[in-house]
Amino acid sequence: MDAMAHTDQISMPGSAPLTEANEVKIAARGVDVFYGKNHAIKNVDVDIEDKTVTAFIGPSGCGKSTFLRCLNRMNDTIDIARVEGDILLDGEDIYDKRVDPVQLRARVGMVFQKPNPFPKSIYDNVAYGPRIHGLTRNKAELDDIVEASLRRAALWDEAKDRLKESGTGMSGGQQQRLCIARAVATQPEVLLMDEPCSALDPIATAQIEELIDELRQNFCVVIVTHSMQQAARVSQKTAFFHLGEMVEYGDTEKIFNSPEDKRTESYITGRIG
Amino acid sequence: MSDTTVPVASQVGHRSLLEPDALLKKRRRKESWFKMLGLGAVMTGLFFLVVLIASIVYNGIPAFTQTYVTVPVTLPADKLDKTGNRNASEMRKVSTFGYRPLIEQALIDTLADQGISSPFEDGGDLADLLSDGAAADVRERVLRNTDLVGKTVEFDLLASSRIDGYYKGRVDRVSVERGMVLTPAHLDVADALHERGLIERRFNLEFITGADASDNRPEQAGVGVSLLGSLFMILVVVALAVPIGVAAAVYLEEFAPQNRFTDLIEVNISNLAAVPSIVFGILGLAAFIQFANLPQSAPLVGGLVLTLMSLPQIIIPARAALKAVPPSIRQAALGIGASRNQMVFQHVLPLAMPGILTGVIISLAQALGETAPLLLIGMVGYIASNYPEGFLDGFVSPNSALPAQIYEWSKRADPAFYERAWGGIIVLLVFMLAVNILAVVLRRRFERRW
């Protein structure tokens, strides 16, 4: 609760000011994804800006999660998935043969739909990333990273007295914030969130949403959501996906108030989806 | 409102909730039938388990006690130590035959002292009360402690298996009369000694620590050496089958590409799990003994054969356990940039450990009870007659295993061996229980919530 009050002072959800012309962090050009014979993503072009929350919305099965998972090459783990086209992170093709996805994922962190802390202590959960990437030289530095990450995830006050306890013993909302802290701890540049609130109650959802708004100051955040209200509340840019195509992409305000495409309008007004 | 009658369910077309309809009755009947059937099945299983345990305990417990005859034996120095310097290696020249007359004399003297009349004039007939190994026992003790020479020392000598059987109810006067070895007069003497407390049944540690004995000395036979053989084999299996099996499971489940070749491997592993154990025995004979020239009857070879046999039993459940680790944990690890290796060894494997250990426990228990393949590589029961000379020697010196020892005893003619076979089963079950408890404790330590 303390954390909530703290974030309230910074910015209210929904009142996030539109950022002007941030530099492009991720550029996708002509991206196609195939699951076996199924053409899941069709020729998607998008420029995702830094220090911005970009929301992917669309009906179930529209490919928004699939596209998100292309951005840190999580689709590599699915044998039958094939990605074509270019995705550039700071101008470098992340699907280049020389790119090791492990290194990519250190820079592009991910938070999943279901909170999935490791069955280890809270401390070890957060410290895991810095440890495997060798970000620290000693225990003191690691302690600092853990504390800073937990603070960033608005979890420090609740977790500081139980760092040695298991991360799986926390509530759902706390677990998801722990996962955010874990992702943040590797000091990524981009944070991908795949429906991070869909398994949470409204209060926990509100906390996460405020957190996302704060994270925007340091990261490029991409969030997939089923909830249009959530997209409207947290994002500055919105992309609407439908049947594997990216139908429309633009400022969130514009997408929600004066969409150009009929399909976007239908979805937003609840006629499809 | 009071005028209106409340409509009865049947009148409005609804059926009353108070009486179940025919179909529901039938469904309920089926349910209770199945419950009875299930309960019956469980009870049957339980009944047979009780019968099994009761018969094992009833038949096997007597093997843990043994009948001893207490007599003072005079150890004359002029016969046992001719040089007189109490040198054990010198005294070794006097064989067990040199000790027999001493024991016979001791028996005659004891009967005279106790005022027991006996029809036996010859001490040799009287000595049939005792085990053939009694003289050897006396000799062993004298050689261990040469100071005993020249004194009269009280010895607890093993009674013969017939006398032992007489006190355990296995042998009676009628069967003795029919037999060739003892006469009812022997039993009279034994009864008289028993009355005076000189023949006694007591706990038989020798059964647990001793070696196998020849056909005519069942009273001396023990499971100690073959138990050690089993232990050495299990060490080999744990050292080889567990790491190889787990590594194979991890590779197949986490790293191997899905293609025809790995499919073929998979099918073969499943088939291997169903191959009769004796086939592994003949394979071991051909591969390890005839081809690789490893020593015959060695626990090392037995362990290798059991390793081959256990591998599929470890790999299959280990793969299932790896598969059961929730994908969210894998994603979590990969998502923050863990390599595949780190994902597997730092997250997936620890979470799969309890399941893997369950498979290991079961396969170890199976390996521990395996008999047939051991017989083919020469680990037959009667081999287990000498203790190995050291830890490493334990792997290569000829030995048997507990189940093979039990099988060996069950084949022998003397019913005294039959009793020991049951006793061996008790030791085997306790040994197995100990190994399993150890494994379960280990599994508990690995168990984690997520």
Alpha-carbon A256 to chain mean position: 21
| Pairwise CA distance, residues A176 & B257, whole Å | 33
Nearby residues of A107 by Cβ (< 8 Å), 6 or more positions away: A89, A188, A189, A190
- The pLDDT, as a whole number, for residue B93 is 82
Q: Is residue A150 part of a domain?
A: no
- The pLDDT, as a whole number, for residue B8 is 66
- For A260, the token pair is 């150009």
Q: What is the mean pLDDT of residues A131-138?
A: 89
Q: Is residue A74 part of a domain?
A: yes
CA distance B343 to chain A (A): 11
Q: Is residue A73 part of a domain?
A: yes
Q: Is residue A29 part of a domain?
A: yes
CATH number, residue A224: 3.40.50.300
- The pLDDT, as a whole number, for residue B12 is 65
- The pLDDT, as a whole number, for residue B384 is 82
pLDDT category at A4 given cuts 50, 70, 90 is very low
Q: What is the mean pLDDT of residues B26-42?
A: 95
Kindly report the backbone phi and psi dihedral angles of residue B297, in degrees, each rounded to the nearest multiple of 5, phi listed first. 60, 15
CA distance B330 to chain A (A): 9
- The pLDDT, as a whole number, for residue A6 is 43
**In terms of C-beta density within 10 A (0-12 exposed, 13-18 middle, 19 or more buried), how is residue B56 classed?**
middle
Q: What is the mean pLDDT of residues B282-293?
A: 92
Which DSSP string corresponds to B182-207?
A: --HHHHHHHHHHHHTT-EEEEE-HHH
What chain B residue is nearest to A102 in terms of C-alpha separation? B337
What chain A residue is nearest to B351 in terms of C-alpha separation? A119
Q: What is the mean pLDDT of residues B222-240?
A: 92
For chain A, what is the domain count? 1
- Indicate the residue of A103, A105, A132 with minimum beta-carbon distance to B335: A105
Nearby residues of A227 by Cβ (< 8 Å), 6 or more positions away: A197
Q: Which of B323, B322, B319, B342 is nearest to B332 (CA)?
A: B342
- The pLDDT, as a whole number, for residue A5 is 42
User: Is B130 in contact with B106 (CB distance < 8 Å)?
Assistant: no
User: Is B431 in contact with B332 (CB distance < 8 Å)?
Assistant: no
**In terms of C-beta density within 10 A (0-12 exposed, 13-18 middle, 19 or more buried), how is residue A244 classed?**
buried
pLDDT > 90 in chain A, percent = 49
Q: What is the mean pLDDT of residues B184-213?
A: 87
> pLDDT digit string (tens) for A31-50?
999 998 899 999 999 999 99
- For A203, the token pair is 């209060």
Q: Which of B336, B351, B353 to mutate to test the interface with A (most CBs of A within 10 A)?
A: B336
Q: Is A193 helix (H, G, I), strand (E, B) or coil?
A: strand
pLDDT at residue A14 greater than cutoff 60: no
Residue A95 touches chain B, beta carbons under 8 Å? no
pLDDT category at A20 given cuts 50, 70, 90 is low
Q: Is residue A237 part of a domain?
A: yes
pLDDT category at A143 given cuts 50, 70, 90 is very high
pLDDT at residue A7 greater than cutoff 50: no
Establish, for the pair of chains A and B, how many residue pairs have beta carbons separated by less than 8 Å: 68
> pLDDT digit string (tens) for A73-122?
998 888 888 899 999 999 899 998 899 988 899 899 999 999 999 999 99
Vertex A221: Cα angle to A16 and A157 (nearest 5): 80
Which chain B residues touch A106 with a CB distance below 8 Å? Answer: 336-337
A positions 151-180 inside 8 Å of B (CB): 166, 168, 179
ipTM of this complex: 0.83
- Indicate the residue of B326, B339, B448 with minimum beta-carbon distance to A102: B339
| Pairwise CA distance, residues B109 & B104, whole Å | 9
The count of other CB atoms within 10 Å of the CB of residue B116 is 16
Residue B262 touches chain A, beta carbons under 8 Å? no
- The pLDDT, as a whole number, for residue B301 is 93
The count of other CB atoms within 10 Å of the CB of residue A152 is 20
Q: What is the mean pLDDT of residues B146-150?
A: 84
pLDDT category at B116 given cuts 50, 70, 90 is confident
Residue B259 touches chain A, beta carbons under 8 Å? no
pLDDT category at B10 given cuts 50, 70, 90 is low
Q: What is the mean pLDDT of residues B387-406?
A: 89
What chain B residue is nearest to A101 in terms of C-alpha separation? B337
DSSP B7: P
Q: Which of B415, B236, B375 is nearest to B310 (CA)?
A: B236
CATH topology of domain B224-446: MetI-like fold (1.10.3720)
Which chain B residues touch A128 with a CB distance below 8 Å? Answer: 336, 338
Q: Which of B169, B294, B289, B306 is nearest to B230 (CA)?
A: B306
- Indicate the residue of B332, B335, B342 with minimum beta-carbon distance to A132: B342
Q: Which of A160, A184, A167 is nearest to A108 (CA)?
A: A184
Q: Is residue A47 part of a domain?
A: yes
What chain A residue is nearest to B257 in terms of C-alpha separation? A79
Alpha-carbon A147 to chain mean position: 21
Contact B449 A168 (CB under 8 A): yes
What chain A residue is nearest to B450 in terms of C-alpha separation? A119
What chain A residue is nearest to B339 in terms of C-alpha separation? A102
The 3-state secondary structure of B45-73, one letter per residue: HHHHHHHHHHHHHHHHHHHHEEEEEEEEE
- The pLDDT, as a whole number, for residue B7 is 65
| Pairwise CA distance, residues A55 & A264, whole Å | 14
- The pLDDT, as a whole number, for residue B92 is 83
A positions 207-226 inside 8 Å of B (CB): none
Which chain B residues touch A199 with a CB distance below 8 Å? Answer: none
- The pLDDT, as a whole number, for residue A29 is 92
- The pLDDT, as a whole number, for residue B312 is 93
What chain B residue is nearest to A175 in terms of C-alpha separation? B450
Domain spans of chain B, in order of start: 61-203, 224-446
- The pLDDT, as a whole number, for residue B257 is 86
| Pairwise CA distance, residues B110 & B193, whole Å | 9
The Cα-based distances of A262 to A63, A240, A257, B209 in angstroms read: 19, 12, 13, 89
Q: Which of A223, A197, A171, A74 is nearest to B332 (CA)?
A: A74
pLDDT category at A3 given cuts 50, 70, 90 is very low
User: Is A153 in contact with A211 (CB distance < 8 Å)?
Assistant: yes
**How confident is the prediction for chain A on average, in pLDDT?**
86
Q: Is residue A169 part of a domain?
A: no
- Indicate the residue of B258, B331, B337 with minimum beta-carbon distance to A116: B331
- Indicate the residue of A77, A168, A185 with minimum beta-carbon distance to B334: A77
Q: What is the mean pLDDT of residues B1-21?
A: 69
- The pLDDT, as a whole number, for residue B282 is 94
Alpha-carbon A133 to chain mean position: 20
- The pLDDT, as a whole number, for residue A13 is 43
**Between A16 and B418, whose confidence is greater?**
B418
Q: What is the mean pLDDT of residues A212-235?
A: 91
pLDDT at residue A8 greater than cutoff 60: no
> pLDDT digit string (tens) for A54-68?
999 998 888 899 999
- The pLDDT, as a whole number, for residue B445 is 81
Q: What is the mean pLDDT of residues B405-428?
A: 90
User: Is B249 in contact with B322 (CB distance < 8 Å)?
Assistant: yes
> pLDDT digit string (tens) for B323-364?
999 999 999 999 988 999 999 999 999 999 988 988 998 899
pLDDT category at B2 given cuts 50, 70, 90 is low
pLDDT category at A12 given cuts 50, 70, 90 is very low
pLDDT category at A2 given cuts 50, 70, 90 is very low
Residue A118 touches chain B, beta carbons under 8 Å? yes
Q: Is residue A213 part of a domain?
A: yes
Taking phi over 0 as left and psi of -120 to 50 as alpha, with beta for the rest, A193 belongs to: beta
